[in-house]
Each structure stands twice: as C-alpha cells, then as structure tokens.
Structure 1
C-alpha cells in the first residue's frame, strides 16, 4: 500500500485498525497482569505491582524514544524518495540507541535493584515480591526495547498488520501464561514476570518474520557518524519518551494530594480512574501511530494536501473515540468500578461524581496525544516537547497544587480536565498547520 499515492481514506483505515488494535491489546494485557497478581497475592501483590510500575514506565518510555524517533526520520527520508540506504541508517541508529539503553537498565537492575525499588516505594514487605517479579524481566530488557523499536519501523515499512499480529500473539500468550504460571504452576508473581517475558519473546519472533519478506526494505546500514544519527533519533523521539514518563510523575503528585485532602476511599476510586485513563490514552496512541507513517512520508515528499487530509481524519477519529469514552463513563460510572475492583457501598456512593468530572478530560486527551505525534511526524520536536511538557507535567501539577488550596479537595478532580482543555485550546490551530520542510542527516 503506497502512502504517497493510494486513496488516503483507505490507507488511513488500514493503518488505523492495525495501530488501534495493538494499542488496545497492550492496555488490556497490562490490566490482566495486575489482576492475576492481585488475585494470587492479595493487596500486597497489588502494592508490589505498583512499585514495579515505574520500572516498566522507564523501559517502555525509552523504547518509544528509540522506536518513534528513528521511525519518523526513516519515513521522512523514504518520503523524499531518497535511496533506501540513508533511511536505513536511522534504523541502525535506533537499534544502537535501544541497545545502549538496554545495557544501562540491566546494569541498574542487577547492581542497584534494592535501592531502585525502595526509591519507587518498596518497604521490607514489598521488596521480596517486587524483586521476584523482576528476576526474569531484568534479564530480558533488550527484548522489550528492541521489540518496540522494530514494531515502530514495521509500521513505516508498510506492514502495520504484522506489528498488530505480533502484539496480539504475545499478548494472548501473556494472558494464558498468567493463568498457567501464576495459578496452575503456583509461581505467583514470578510467574507473571515470566509470562510477560515469554509473551514479548513471541511478539519479537513474529515481528522478525518481516525480514524474510521480499517487500522488506529494512537493513542494518551503519552510519559513518553513528553518534550524530543517534542524537537525531533521541531529539525527535524525546517528546514520546516524556509523554510516557510524565504519567508516572503526575500519578505520584495526584496520589499525594488525594491522601492530603481526601483519604483512602478517594484514592481507591482514583485507581480505577487511572485504569480507565490508560485505555483512553491507548486510543490516543493508536490514532497517533496510525497517522505517523502517513504524515512523515508525505512530509518528506512535500505532499501538503495529503498531510492536511490525514490530520483531518485523525482529529475526527480522536474526537469520536473521546465521545464514546465520555458517554460510557458518564452514563454507567459504577459499572467501571465493579469491572476493576470489588467496591464497598461507600465507594459506589463516591465514585459517580468523581468519574463524571474526571471523564471530561477524555474529550481532549486523545487529541492532545495526537498533536504530539503530528508535531513529531512533521519534524517539529520542540513543539511536540512543549505539548508533552505542558499537558504531562507543568499545567496539571500547577492546577493540582492551586485548585484544592482555593476550593477544597473536591476541586482536585477538575485539575486534569482543565489542564487538557487549556492545552487543547492552545494547540488547536497549530495542529492543522503543516511544518515547513526540514533537512536531516542522510
């Protein structure tokens, strides 16, 4: 399928369903992992998974940095109809970046595991459980970084369906692996970590079949100045990295403010809010990852009209998904509470008001995530980083600190909707204006 010449609506649908399926599957599988450990170990298992969450956050954020950054530069070069060789130098540079980060993370987990886990909140009770989960994971960090990097390049080499099939294959194994290793084999939290690693190995194995196809154009072509190419990968990919990392930072601030002003019941509801938000955020990722190959290639080719049309399709899709999520949460808030936890009557009384206010953020969240992908795809990393910094940390943290001080703890729930609205209002017009062509290393 030619992203430069074929019917754009058909091409967009092809890329969207593959990217959306991958993003949604990833969010479902992450929830299943937490549920399996929680049912086996109880509340202490859930607490241990909360400690481990920042480790995953770092691994996946760095994977996005290398994968998104390199694949955008690769697609731009291909869109310019440059020879395959210059584009593939960015593929090699991305693999180098992923390998370097893999080594650094493995060194940290092998040499400084206890202080790292204690920094993320583990106490003497949680430390053994968290460390046991990481036993198989720390040996397999390269699988996760290289897998995510390769997946991003598959989408830009015309094979988004294989990327989706790889995620589905690994994810399905992860679900059944959790049941088998955690419960049948009685491995507990170690089994959950093992299932995750084996699932990722299967996903990477499926992705590697792309290199056996005739239509594959990906090759490892080492650049003469690898540091220069790696720097470009990091610069372009940094907004995606920060978007993911900021989620963890923002959650920490929100947790502290909830405990300060509202208490444990409100924090329990917030746990469900975060889970729902993960699904909504993955919808935004799906739309952005569908648009990215089309935007980058047409940006390189100078096809301004196709860029504008792709942005229109993407914005319409993001708004439709936002409408569906807002309607679902607003109409049946307690159904979500029952789906993710065993709520007490007090929680069921508290949740509807919280969920309905917070869900207003879902109107703007997919659009704001999409804007980051658009700016990145059009080689405007500064604009992408500005959006990531504003919506991921600066604006919401400022509101989380000021709103409850002025109007009490209940105002906390309005902080994120207001932050998302302010950011969306600031970037709405810019989202429809394509960037002027920018040069790059070739």
Structure 2
C-alpha cells in the first residue's frame, strides 16, 4: 500500500492524478463548509434574520479557531509530504505524532482564552444589543468543541497528505452527514435556536475526531500514529509552525477583516446588513473552498515531487491547477451575476431589507472572482514547497496590506458601496503582485530543472 501511494505521486499522469485527488477533496471541503452554511440556512429560515446577524458576528471567532487548525494541520501535512518524498518514513511518523500533541495543546489554550474574553470579543466583532444574545448562545457551545474541531480538521489533513484522498473525503462526509439531521432535530424539533445549531456542529466534530484517530491506528494508513512518537520535538514543531504560519496569518487576517466589515456594515447600513454579509460569505466560502480543494489535490503532488527534486512534474501540476482554478472562478462569477436573488432566498425568504443588501453586496463583493482562482493557487504553491516567508507575505498581502486600509478609507468616502468594493479592489492588486512572484519562481524552476537534466 505504502509503495503504491508513493509511486503514483511520482509517476502517475498529473491530470488524472489531480482529478483522483480533487473530487474527494472537493466533496470533503464542501461537506466541511456545510457546517456553517447549513447552520445559517436553518437559523435564517427557522429562527429569524436577527439571529442570522448574531451568528455572523461569531464568524470571526470561528475563523480564529480555524486559523489554529490550519497552523498545525497545514504545516503538518506539508512536512509529511516532503518527508515522504525523501523516503524518510521515521521522520514522517514523528511529524504525525507531533501534530496530534500540538493540536491538543493549542486548541485547549484557545478554549480557555475564548471563554476569558468572550463578551468583549463579540462586541468587537459586531454583536449589538439586538444580536448579542444570539451570538453569545451560539459561541458558548462552539467554544466547548474547539479541541474536537481542531483535531478533526488537522489530523484529516494528514490523511490527505499521505495520499488517502478518498478516505479524507469520507471523513468529512460522515461528519457533515451527522451535522445536518442534528441541525433539523435541535433547531426545529427541540426548538433550541442557535444553540442547537452549535451543539449539532460539536457532536459531528466529535465523531470526526474519533474516525481520524482510528485511521492512523489501522492498516490503511501509510504512516502510523505510534505512542513513541507522541511528544514535542522542537525542530519538528518549528518546521510545522513555519509552514503553517502562512494559512494561519491569512485566517487571522480574515478575522480582523470580517470584524471591520461587520463594524462598517452596522455603521453605514444596519444589523441586517451584517446578516446579508453572512449570506455573501457563505456563497464566497463555497467558491473559495472549491479552489482550496484543488490546492489539497495538488499539495501532495507538488510537495512530494519538490522533495524528490522532480521539478518538471512540479511545474506541470502548478500549471494545471491554475487553469482549473480560473475555470471554476469564471463559472461561479457568471452564475452570481445572473442569479443573485435565488441565492439570497435560500437563506432568508421574507426579509426585503436583507434581500436589498444581499443583492447589492453579492455583485459588488464578488466581482473580482475571475482572478481569485489564480491568486489562491499561486499563493498555495509557495506553502506546498516549504517557502514560508513568501507564502506568509502573499497571504497577508490581500487581507492586511491592501484590504484593511481600503476598509478604513473607502467607506468614509463612498459609504456602504465603499464597504462592498474594498474586497474586489484588494483581489486585483494582490493578484498582480502574486503573478510577479510566480513568474520569478517559474524561471527558477526552469533553470534548476534544466541543470538536473544535463547531469
């Protein structure tokens, strides 16, 4: 099993291998994204638009939780791929053990800090007197499930990195399949409101955590989770964190940006404008997660072959990923431009104010979608090959260096329209700068590949 997985990473045709890895990753991330999206649909339809706005105020907190999961899970998966490419199986086993211990310690700390600063944090992220009770009820449950959420997300990334893409997909399907009926049970039947949605999420993540641990103790795993490797090795921890810093920084920046959006939407719109933003972000998540699935499919191939110094295969994978990401982005953009009303109605059917804010915001905020696919894939490449510095810079470029100043300046000049158009302007600027970085890297790969072929 082990030799077969590694052989296909190095020799199987890139196009068919990416497809084999993409569709399970796509189904998996879509299932994962359904946690928040299905919650919002049930809350918007059965609790009310104000409750939807309250849960949207919790979204930046959940982004911070996800940031710590990505810090460890993404960093661990990249290091696992690179070590497998070098045929260093003992080091790969140590990476798995260190990742598990690290995620438990970090998520426990996040839980404690979350409860300590919960109320001021929710106020900072846009909860008002009207929506605070909803936000507080939802977050109380979510914080108790941080450890389960982080374990499920991070360890499942390791399953994908070892070449078990279909199993990683099944993991997420099992979790989502538990979450959705529990949403209906707790919200509709037991009338638990937003707390029921959060409880459903925690239970489903508990099931995912058990599932991923069973895998790494089974014969199906390429790398085993062994007791002797459960510990913290300073060098391995630093290696994991150095790579994971890029997606971590991007997620933290996402949280700050979401807070700024919520504050500006309340100032220049209303509480219901925040609810509309929650719908828009749900739509954006579906599109971005499609491209993230593409990154998940390409990361083991790029990481393994970069570690094996097979740079022609690295270039071929990167080029294929950029093409597919652009097609996805263009298709999504066309659908949004043509059918904004049905998208909004899926979440809230009887709120004219949310419909007004949602249609305007959806078209403005996502009008730069055609370039986002390239931007996300190109930035992920530098993370996949362990170039942490460039990956961190490109991650922060859009969310911090460009977008935050725009969110401070443009609303003062253009009001609510300035809030909506900050995102697409940042996307275009970030894409141009990312392209410059990638052109340089492409030339370097071409030169190195040529040198190796002449040896």
TM-score higher than 0.5? yes
Equivalent of residue 425 in structure 2, options 415, 418, 421: 418
Q: Is the 8 A contact 1:223 1:229 kept in 2?
A: no
Q: Over residues 204-240 of structure 1, what are the superposed CA-to-partner deviations in whole Å (9 max), with x where a residue is unaligned?
A: 2333342312553233453897123212211110111
Deviations 1:93-116 (A, max 9, x none): 222221121221222245554455
Superposed displacement of residue 345, structure 1: 5.4
Once the 2 structures are TM-superposed, how far is the Cα of residue 134 of structure 1 from its aligned partner?
4.3
Change (3 A) 1:190 1:257: closer
Q: Tell me which moved more, 287-296 or 185-194.
A: 185-194
Matched residues in 1 for 2:143 and 2:253: separation? 23
Contact 1:240 1:372 in 2 (8 A): no
- Whole-Å Cα distance in 1 between the matches of residues 363 and 128 of structure 2? 35
Q: 2:398 aligns with which of 391, 395, 398?
A: 391
Residue of 317, 324, 327 corresponding to 2:334 = 327
Tell me the equivalent position of 1:26.
32
Contact map agreement 2:45 2:347 (CA 8 A) in 1: no
Q: Aligned pair 1:80/2:115, yes or no?
A: no
The residue correspondences of 1:339-350 to structure 2 (distance < 5 A) are 339-342=346-349
Among residues 46, 56, 60, which one is paired with 1:54 in the alignment? 60
Matched, 1:236 2:243: yes
Partner of 2:219: 213
Residue number in structure 2 paired with 1:297: 304
Does residue 365 (structure 1) correspond to residue 372 (structure 2)? The answer is yes
1:365-416 CA-to-partner distances (Å, cap 9, x unmatched) read 2322222321101111111111111111221122233445556653443322
Cα 1:5/1:198, change in 2 over 3 Å: same
SS across alignment from 2:223: coil
Give the superposition deviation at 1:137: 3.6
Pair 1:6 & 2:12 matched: yes
Q: Deviations over 1:263-318 (max 9, x none)?
A: 56765544432222121221221111111111111110001011001101110111
Q: 2:263 maps to what in 1?
A: 256
Distance between the aligned counterparts of 1:40 and 1:102, measured in 2? Answer: 32
146-155 or 422-431, larger mean C-alpha shift: 422-431
Question: Counterparts of 1:185 and 1:409 in 2: how far apart (Å)?
Answer: 38
Tell me which residue corresponds to 1:105: 110
1:259 deviation in Å?
4.2
TM-score normalised by length of structure 1: 0.89
Q: What CA distance in whole angstroms lies between the structure 2 residues aligned with 1:327 and 1:410?
A: 21
Given that residues 97 and 231 in structure 2 are in contact (C-alpha distance below 8 angstroms), is that contact kept between their aligned partners in structure 1?
no
Decide which of 146, 150, 153 is 1:148's aligned counterpart.
Answer: 153
SS at match of 1:81: coil
Q: Residues 58-85 of structure 1: CA distance to partner in whole angstroms, max 9, x if unpaired? A: 2211011100001101111111122x11
Unaligned runs of 5+ in 1: 438-442
Task: Please identify, of 224-233 and 107-116, the stretch whose mean Cα deviation from structure 2 is larger.
Answer: 107-116
Q: Distance in 1 between matches of 2:59 and 2:120?
A: 15
Contiguous gaps of at least 5 residues in structure 2: 449-455
Cα distance in 2, alignment partners of residues 271 and 144 from structure 1: 21
Q: Which residue of 2 aligns with 1:284?
A: 291
**Aligned residues of 1:358 and 1:413 also touching (Cα < 8 A):** yes
**What's 2:452 paired with?**
none
Distance 1:385 1:337, change over 3 A: same
Q: CA 1:139–1:264 in 2, change beyond 3 Å: closer, same or farther?
A: closer
Q: In the aligned structure 2, how far is the partner of 1:254 from the partner of 1:127?
A: 17
C-alpha contact 1:157 1:218 (8 A) present in aligned 2: no
Aligned residue number for residue 70 of structure 2:
64
Q: 1:118 to 1:407 in 2, by over 3 A?
A: closer
- Cα separation, partners in 2 of 1:403 and 1:218, compared to 1, 3 Å: same
Separation in 2 of the partners of 1:114 and 1:405? Answer: 28
Q: How many Å apart are 1:27 and its aligned residue?
A: 2.0
Name the structure 1 match of 2:252: 245
Which residue is 1:181 aligned to?
186
Displacement, 1:174? 0.5
Match in the other structure for 2:51: 45
Gap change, CA 1:343 and 1:135, over 3 Å in 2: closer
What secondary structure sits across from 2:176 in the alignment? helix
* Partner secondary structure for residue 65 of structure 2: helix
Segment of structure 1 superposing worse, 119-128 or 371-380:
119-128
Q: Deviations over 1:295-347 (max 9, x none)?
A: 11111000101100110111011101101111001112222222222365566
